[in-house]
Amino acid sequence: MEIKWSDKAEGVFKKIISNLPLFHRTIAQSLVKETAERIAWERKSEFVEEKDLIEAFFREVPPAFRGMMERLFKELGIKNS
């Protein structure tokens, strides 16, 4: 099953990635993208949605950086619940 991205999820992904420190950006781009697609596939969807992306970030971000992610989401107006 090929997984596509909804326009909203893709826009949110780009917004988050562009606000990450450069060192984390490259790692997050591939790891979070892959995880978001797997989450969408597991729920048998053809599209990655914003909720899949947010879940992927919190699955893949080390616990030490979760507070930073929550603050970033809040600053960007992204609901993480």
What residue ranges do the domains of the chain occupy?
A: 4-76
**CA nearest neighbour of 52 among 9, 20, 14, 15:** 9
pLDDT of residue 40: 97
Half-sphere CA count of 8, side-chain side, radius 13 A: 7
Give per-residue pLDDT as tens, 64-76. 888 888 898 999 8
pLDDT of residue 65: 84
pLDDT of residue 1: 62
